[in-house]
Structure 1
Amino acid sequence: MMYYNSVFVTLLIVIASLDGKPTSLLKNEPERCCFPKQYSSKIIISVGYALPDSETYSSYSSYNVTYDADRGMIGMKGLSITLPDQQKSNMWIIENIKDEIMYTIDQDLKTCVQSKLISSTVVCIPDTAEYFGSSTYGYGDKKIVADTWIINNNRNLNYVTVSRDGLCVPLTGNIFARTPAGVSTMTTTDFAPEIDDPSVFDMPDECKKLN
């Protein structure tokens, strides 16, 4: 189950085959944007999937996420709860984007699993994305306009909502997967365009033994 948890989290953090540059707009579309090159945030993830052999997987997780384009890495630490048995695991995930390798660490069991990244990292909203619509977050004078884009990569249907304030903050993500069939949702909070904890990229001893 640790493997499935890391794979489904990765699907929400990375989406396959995105272009590296914003492209020209269609009529009445807002400007496409690129995510910050460095940021820290908290993400809340809900997952429900139908696995082979008629099994199912569902979980609720909260991660502190750090992304650094210069390092080519994503680091995540947090608590994952597998449903319906309410099994809790303190997880740590390190993604080396350049080498296309992911390390999934169970901090309770002191174990590390190495696997290949299944997708390319998000850089910009691609020209293949279809504009879905806008919405407003906040209240009173504290409002952020956001845009939702649909990205269809033939394996997954992704609804990605980003802020229109120049930062292009990934506010929410919803993935409808075909194989395995399932749904994943992600909500971003506590966003900061900087790296709060660079130690999240440091490889623990249990992973160093794999190299």
Structure 2
Amino acid sequence: MFCYATFAIIFILITGSSGTLTRLSPNEPKPCCLPKQHSSQMSISTGMILPDGKPYSSYSTYNFSYDSDRGLVALKGEATSIPDGQKSHWWIIENMKDGQTYTIDQDSKKCYKSIITLKPLYCIPETAVYQYSSMYGYGDKQIIGDTWLITKDEAIMYFTVSGDGQCIPLNGHNYSQNPATVNSTTIANFVPKVLDPSAFDIPEECKNTT
């Protein structure tokens, strides 16, 4: 389960691209930057092959907090493994300034500390390749979503943001080879501010973790 938790946030942490920017038409949207502070609810479906070769899948929901000015990302929520239905509760904090990830198992009160290997995605990179635009919502409550292809080493991601100039993240689909992982993420209840600043506070169980 710990292995899963560390990969649950990969879709939002991928940055850069090893591909070449390809413009499909003069009217296609330009890459944009996400709001500097925001909160949302993430629903994540994950399938992966664990290091021992066994398959693992889960469905999870997280309250997500993001503050690019302070270099902080936090997720707090519940993961349910499939098909046994085992539930676990996780709190993940990324601190870009000290280069650390804190993964807290809230059931056992254990904290795992690791070095950040992927920087957060503040903006759609210039090397991202525009794929298509589609409508979200219905009736007079519709917004355009622009989908981009982002590649990084052995991982690729299709990432959709609103095309209204606000660059609100809507969903992401991530594919990684090492380990073999597929993540599908839907983002809801977006607000352009941090609703729970305490989500960034390092808990006591992490302060003595090496």
- Normalised by the length of structure 2, the TM-score is 0.92
Partner of 1:38: 37
Q: How does 1:148-159 map to 2 (within 5 A)?
A: 148-159=147-158
Range moving further from structure 2, 79-88 or 167-176: 79-88
Contact 1:174 1:183 in 2 (8 A): yes
CA distance in 2, matches of 1:126, 1:73: 20
Size of the aligned set, in residue pairs, is 206
Contact 1:77 1:93 in 2 (8 A): yes
Matched letter for residue 198 of structure 2: S
Matched letter for residue 183 of structure 1: V
Q: How does 1:83-102 map to 2 (within 5 A)?
A: 83-102=82-101
Partner of 2:15: 16
Q: How does 1:200-211 map to 2 (within 5 A)?
A: 200-210=199-209
Provide structure 1 residue ranges, at least 5 long, that are not aligned to the other structure. none
CA distance in 1, matches of 2:63, 2:142: 24
Q: How does 1:43-58 map to 2 (within 5 A)?
A: 43-58=42-57
Matched letter for residue 173 of structure 1: G
Q: Could you say what the CA RMSD is over the residues aligned between the two structures, in angstroms? A: 1.7
Matched letter for residue 5 of structure 1: Y
Deviation string for 1:116-135 (max 9, x for gaps)?
22211101111111111000
Any idea what SS the aligned residue of 1:199 has? helix
Any idea what SS the aligned residue of 2:8 has? helix
Matched letter for residue 202 of structure 2: M
Q: How does 1:24-173 map to 2 (within 5 A)?
A: 27-173=26-172
Contact 2:68 2:122 in 1 (8 A): no
Provide structure 2 residue ranges, at least 5 long, that are not aligned to the other structure. none
Contact 1:17 1:120 in 2 (8 A): no
Counterpart check, 1:192 vs 2:198? no
Contact 2:39 2:193 in 1 (8 A): yes
Range moving further from structure 2, 68-77 or 24-33: 24-33
> In the TM superposition, what is the alpha-carbon distance from 1:142 to its structure 2 partner?
0.3
CA distance in 2, matches of 1:50, 1:28: 40
